[in-house]
Structure 1
Amino acid sequence: MIKIELIESFLLVAKFGSITQAANEKSLSPMALSKQMQTLEAQLEKPLFNRTRRQLTLTEFGANFKIEAEKVAQSHASLVNWLAGNSGHTKGTVRVLFQSSLLCEETIIPWMPEFLETYSQLNVEMDVKESLIDVSKDDYDIFWGVSDYLGENFPNLKRRDLWTSHYGVFASPSYIKSKGMPQDLTSLDSHDIIGYLHNEPSNVLVLQENGKPIYKILNQRVSSVCGLIDLAKAGLGLINAGDDIQQIQDAILNNELVPILEDYWWQEAKVYIYYHNVRHAQPKVKAFIDFFLSKRSVWGCS
């Protein structure tokens, strides 16, 4: 009988292609993990890895074994989660990765004290990654506020709708005075965009025409992962942003930003909550998602 610990260790080594990296992930010594792989190969009576000085690669048998091992690991995780859900206790640490700090501040932070009081045995770790998320490398339980690219790249993830907004275009009065008010898509050719650094390309303006998204590439003098609204207020170019963002609403109210080309706004820009696909979701994951989604009606009102 092969122990689940050996299967999980094997999947980590296969993921990283390195005993050292996998050992760090499991908080084991490389020697201990190497012995585990030797034990597993001895039980299977076949090699799992081609060993070179730089990297471990799977043998043909190892690649086929990995497919079956993933099924076993997923079934084991589902069983563990089911047992935990029936124990009456939700505990552990839930690790959440956000695509933007703003979404974390608007949907999570104000209600975190209540969440921790409600789930006294749960701890929370939160991080932000502005660049593209890679689930094979970014080891988190929940990916919060991510567009549909994550589901397209990792179709085995589960997802729930988080937020739908109108994705607008905004500029400052000083910018419009200098560059003029664009009246149609063609007139955008003479305008500048404040690019979001991790967009591909960063100087793309997302719009919509006849119900379909369209992409305009504009001149770009500055790109950033932060402060885009302040840069727009300073008159440095156009920005794309959701019209329900509090900073945008405040800037419009204070005549610091002006909405433009509203007939071409993307009407249903969506972001999602993604989490790992197991038959029985981890109780800590379910508790986190359900609790904060229950606050949806008061997001942005704190």
Structure 2
Amino acid sequence: MDWDKLRVFHAVAEAGSFTHAGEVLNLSQSAVSRQISALEESLNLPLFHRHARGLILTEQGELLYRTARDVFSKLAMTEALLTESRERAQGPLKITTTVAFGSLWLTPRIKDFLDAYPEIAVTMVLFDGELDLAMREADVAIRMMPPRQPDLIQRHLLSMNYAVFAAPSYIEKYGMPKSADDLDNHRIIVYGDDTRVSAPVSNVNWLLEAGASPDRPRKPVLEVNNIYGIYRAVKSGLGIAAMPEYLRGEAEALVHILPELKGPKVETYFVYPEELRHSKRITVFRDFLLSKIAESA
């Protein structure tokens, strides 16, 4: 199989059109189309269904695309490792973590990392689902649960519980709850179900039950399927919510209330593919995280 044609095919499959692939490859639309037609002729089978709205991979095209994506992902990883200096950390580093942890804990600290390692080009992908590290959708992940993929290296970062928070404006208006059963008279914000993204912990809405009477079930004032969204709602003064303890040091506008209440425990992990075990970029970022976590303890 001709390598140049395979490279063009991969770009077209990613872009979904000859025109967009041509822009990525700096080729004309006709040149891209000719390369794909030549590849289809050499294989004696169609790779795309042509439609007015764009291109759709055939069954055989899907099979070739999955293989090509894997090949190009491995090549990108190898290229990064080959160009990385043995003496100093440099090159791209793509980090993924949850929206809340990334927004409230990591991004305020990333300047210190970039100041220390200016030759590392950081990209952050904040996403409450899981990107596929084996397919190079990211280089490293900070996850709130152990990785399910067996070929990933994991390093435990920290353990933390869920704690209860409110805004000063809320406390001023509705008063400070003195005990868990006082929550019957307060507005509670909880995590909303969304089948597309797993809940961050089991029993994530434990605050609805803490100290509650069985004959008076609590109803939330708001459901949000994202911890950062819950944080913003709490900060606005809308209500009380349970959120991970790392917010205690980050959310200056919030008050940690009912400290005796401890919710589910969250275990946080630093995760990366086996192929990057000897990458200096990975090593220095891992050590940076551990040092910052120790400072926050």
Q: TM class, shorter-chain normalised? A: 0.5 to 0.7
Query: What does residue 154 of structure 2 align with?
Result: 160
Q: 1:148 to 1:52 in 2, by over 3 A?
A: farther
Secondary structure at 1:169 match in 2? strand
Query: What does residue 19 of structure 1 align with?
Result: 18
> RMSD in angstroms over aligned alpha carbons?
4.6
Q: 1:77 to 1:124 in 2, by over 3 A?
A: closer
Whichever residue aligns with residue 167 of structure 1, its letter is Y
Secondary structure at 2:221 match in 1? strand
Q: 1:44 to 1:231 in 2, by over 3 A?
A: closer
Deviations 1:73-126 (Å, cap 9, x if unpaired)?
45544654564468878654334455322232355322321112xxxxx34143
Residues in 1 aligned to 2:200 and 2:78: alpha-carbon distance in whole angstroms? 45
User: Any stretches of 5+ residues in structure 2 without a counterpart?
Assistant: 209-218
**Alignment check: 8 A CA contact 2:177 2:258 kept:** no
Query: What does residue 219 of structure 1 align with?
Result: 220
Query: What does residue 281 of structure 1 align with?
Result: 276
Query: What does residue 57 of structure 2 align with?
Result: 58
> For 1:237, which of 236, 239, 249 is the aligned residue?
239
Pairing 1:109–2:102 present: no
**How many residue pairs end up in the alignment?**
272
Residues in 2 aligned to 1:172 and 1:12: alpha-carbon distance in whole angstroms? 49
**Alignment check: 8 A CA contact 1:179 1:191 kept:** no
**Alignment map for 1:1-302 (pairs within 5 Å):** 1-3=1-3, 5-26=4-25, 28-74=27-73, 76-77=75-76, 79-80=78-79, 83-84=82-83, 91-97=90-96, 99=99, 100-116=102-118, 122-127=119-124, 129=126, 141-142=138-139, 144-148=141-145, 158=152, 160-161=154-155, 162-171=157-166, 174=171, 178=175, 180-181=177-178, 183=180, 191-194=186-189, 200=193, 213-215=203-205, 218-221=219-222, 232=234, 235-247=237-249, 256-260=255-259, 262-263=261-262, 265-267=263-265, 269-273=266-270, 280-281=275-276, 286-299=279-292, 301=295
Whichever residue aligns with residue 262 of structure 1, its letter is L
Residues in 2 aligned to 1:259 and 1:25: alpha-carbon distance in whole angstroms? 55
Q: 1:51 deviation in Å?
A: 0.9
TM-score (norm 2): 0.65
**More strand per residue:** 1
**Alignment check: 8 A CA contact 1:232 1:238 kept:** yes
Residues in 1 aligned to 2:288 and 2:132: alpha-carbon distance in whole angstroms? 27
Residues in 2 aligned to 1:95 and 1:102: alpha-carbon distance in whole angstroms? 18
User: Any stretches of 5+ residues in structure 1 without a counterpart?
Assistant: 117-121
Query: What does residue 119 of structure 1 align with?
Result: none
Percent identity between matched residues is 22
Whichever residue aligns with residue 171 of structure 1, its letter is A
Q: 1:143 to 1:55 in 2, by over 3 A?
A: farther
Secondary structure at 1:61 match in 2? helix
Deviations 1:165-208 (Å, cap 9, x if unpaired)?
22222235727954845526xx7666433467xx645xxxx898
**Alignment check: 8 A CA contact 1:11 1:70 kept:** yes
